[in-house]
Structure 1
């Protein structure tokens, strides 16, 4: 045999998970007291969530969830900035009163009438991600009802008041959510390290998760909300860039195997171009436009385009 050379040292188990997991939202931006009561550990002081980010007032959202299969608690992070979210090409996104969001668009010319009637506004930085979480967490609301409204007070949020989000838990319309566990590789000092993360751009109500199987092609999934959720994660340009499974197959949440992660080479190639930014600045033109063609009787949650 002519292939020789030293082998790598085996990596110890990290305790990380990858794949799709069912999560129970517990609390957003807990106080020192709530950290002890709900999360079960001590904090020296109340965390500071309102910050100044390069001169822009911002709010760090820390959404604590519990994995229903393991009982472990994890944190989802979203950064809200008090500025309009704008892509590199000057495009913007819009959100309506039901929490439906658009892709990046140049103008509102192609918006469908039902969307215009729902009082859309220009999204601020991080706001689309927040409303995707809200839609997932309020999965029992009847979307076609004109009474449905998911509108948070932005001024309160910028003051650190997240009570409107925390009040969802325990309501008759609240549901658990489906999130994507992933492992992020980041450079710390002179070396690369792995970190557990939960993808913060796409969420799904557990009501739409059903009997998901990774062997079923997305094109054959009947639940359009589920199909859209999966397709956005897997999108080659603006989907999840972190490692979430071998060969980018979306399995149910399981223990992470570093041997399957192709990014863990001796010289991983990570550039700013392949790491998604919070504002989506590296998202290319969306070939589908602002919204897909839809039937009038289609559930509005199918329109998360």
Structure 2
């Protein structure tokens, strides 16, 4: 790990994640939740907290410690990190019950919109001296009936070989290892990149303090992030992992799924190749 990258901090990542979330919230429609539904959700949440307090006989010092910790999470902007790592996987499981097509999983806190559009056969933007083994990732985007989806978009982002994301760590160029790949007339794509590394979620802030206090590990397995979309189809947000990788069975974010694990093929030149086909569910016309 380089000296420049070790300066990345939870506060930096948290602030950037919060800024990205606010920008996304401005683009997305507000949840249409009734007053009755809001009342029910709030009451159920509070009841669950009361149950923990009663069952575990939470003391005043423990209560004050939790208040102090919650304030610290907000002060350093780690709410997106905390919620995306420890809560989003359950929201995604609920959503998946009514969805067909490629399996989804969490978006996580490190997505940034507005990346360069790239052709179907492309190399992700990277530094001239980008570390890591070369990875060629290919596949096809199809409808549920097998029809190829020309012009579909794969919004791809990933960590580098040291486990850092552009936009969330210093001294990494904007847009590094990010891009929107547009499929060809047959719905196919070939993306050259580098094999990402497993990474630790930031541990020098309050989320890291929580993990340490509970004796948990902070690691996520290596993966590619993707949002796959095509006109008239439901967008799939997912992550693809690598067979044999570390932390697959104990992902801190509980986001791994067996059908999202890629089989890597080692090439004669030392690089890797992997393939995956995506199936998108049509959206009913209003």
TM-score by length of 2: 0.24
TM-score by length of 1: 0.23
Structure with the higher fraction of residues in helix conformation: 2
